[in-house]
Chains A and B, each alone.
Chain A
Amino acid sequence: MKDSVKMIAFLLILSSILAAALTAVEAVTKPRITRNEELKIKRNVLAALGVACDEAARESTFDATVRVVEKGGRKFYVTADKTVAFSIQGAGLWGPIQGILAVAPDGAAVKGITIVHQEETPGLGSRIAEAAYLAGFQGKRLLPRIVITAEGAAATDTEVDGITGATLSCQAFGRILNSEAAACLPMVKEVQQ
């Protein structure tokens, strides 16, 4: 009995000290972590919008070219020529996929896509996040819907190549694009005003 009291007391004290230390670490690193996440979103928004900028000038470029509009609980990033970017997310094959989709001024064609976060199979499904693959979406039409075909089979302007070996990840990404486009394209029209 005495043993267990001693054990509980020891563990309580140890955990309290460590918890206090962790709280301090959290407090010190929090501002930097939040800032890193914001920078990451800004970098991806600019990349999706096709705005070239170097690393150092990223924030000023972002502030100068992008107007942030909140609508329906989402953030839309609007440029002067009415290209609109917004974040998309949904279930990939293994985990959530998050990205930024930029829509051309006509409100239907893809201007650019970046992937912010994915957990697909490294070396196979993870290839959907490669710039070379995402470039294949540029100019494709989100309406009525994007169709992912076999690699090299895309013919029309709503068809996009899949990747052999990453078929399911590509299909999942296509589904995310279609459902997010369906949800957001009507709002894109409004924020363009």
Chain B
Amino acid sequence: MNLRRLLGKERYKTLLKGVWTEHPISSMCLGICSALAVSNKVENAIAMGAGVTFVLIATAVMVSSLRKMIPARGRMITYMVTIASFVIVVDKFLKAYFPVISETMGPYVGLIITNCILMGRAEAFYARNPLGLSLVDAVANGIAYSYTLTGIAVVREVLGFGTLLGMRVMPAGWENWVVLSLAPGAFFLLGLFLWITRTLAGVEPPREG
């Protein structure tokens, strides 16, 4: 496959792991909170996905290029400071150029700081791998997070609000499935998503004892 030749074996493997076999949400169960909270409208899901992807890439660049200098006991605080700074950049950018999206997303942009995907990947991957590989991993995880949120949001927005990206898609007599636009709907759908993707990707459930 072309992509495989283009990236080289190791990078291709990292990409595949990030978007599918070690999917951050379904396989590692990271970033669940925001996947539940920001997946009710497609527009917000896309903005959130883009925001998280940007912060992931920026964090990967920072942490990976500084990885030999970061003091062992100051790792967490280094990640935290880095992630927090880039999240503020995203927040300001949305406020300045996409005020409507910024408003509907409210506190969730700031909460990207606590998105476990960022801390998790920084500690598990970027602090140990060279820049190129870390970038691939950041992009892969960003894509995985974005398509999951967008996928769930498509179902929730169409059935819960009768719209897609704000445009009416359901017939006039459509009764909105309000439960899908509320928090419980997110749990149902995320559960389904985990079940389906874990089965397809062959993720083994943790064994008892």
Contact = CB atoms under 8 A, between A and B. Distances in A.
B69 A33 contact: no
Nearest to B178: A123
Interface string A120-133: 00110000000000
Contacts of B99: 36, 40
A10 B74 contact: yes
A28 B95 CA distance: 12
Interface in A1-56: 3-4, 6-7, 10-11, 14-15, 18-19, 21-22, 25-26, 28-29, 32-33, 36, 40
A125 to B, nearest CB: 12
Contacts, number: 57
Nearest to B89: A25
A161 interface: no
Interface string B49-83: 00000000000000000100111011001100110
A11 B89 contact: no
A113 B71 CA distance: 56
A14 B81 contact: yes
Given A3-B71, A32-B97, A123-B181, A18 B92 contact: no
Contact of A123 (B89, B93, B182): B182
Interface in B173-192: 178, 181-182
B95 A11 contact: no
Chain A, interface residues (CB within 8 Å), range: 20 to 34
B81 to A, nearest CB: 6
Given A32-B96, A122-B182, A123-B181, A7 B88 contact: no
A29 B74 contact: no
A180 interface: no
Contact of A6 (B66, B71, B82, B182): B71
Contacts of B96: 28-29, 32-33, 36
B34 interface: no
A119 interface: yes
Given A7-B71, A11-B78, A29 B95 contact: yes
Given A26-B92, A40-B99, A123-B178, A15 B71 contact: no
B81 A15 contact: yes
B73 A18 contact: no
A11 B182 contact: no
A18 B85 contact: yes
Contacts of B97: 32
B40 interface: yes
B106 interface: yes
A119 B106 contact: yes
29 contacts: A3-B71, A3-B73, A10-B69, A10-B78, A11-B74, A11-B77, A11-B78, A11-B81, A14-B66, A14-B78, A14-B81, A14-B82, A15-B81, A18-B81, A18-B85, A19-B85, A21-B85, A22-B88, A22-B89, A25-B92, A26-B92, A29-B93, A29-B96, A32-B96, A33-B95, A119-B106, A122-B181, A123-B178, A123-B182
Interface of B: 40, 66, 69-71, 73-74, 77-78, 81-82, 85, 88-89, 92-93, 95-97, 99, 106, 178, 181-182
Interface of A: 3-4, 6-7, 10-11, 14-15, 18-19, 21-22, 25-26, 28-29, 32-33, 36, 40, 119, 122-123
List of 9 A-B pairs having minimum Cβ-Cβ separation, nearest first: A32-B96, A29-B96, A7-B71, A18-B85, A36-B99, A7-B74, A29-B92, A33-B95, A123-B182
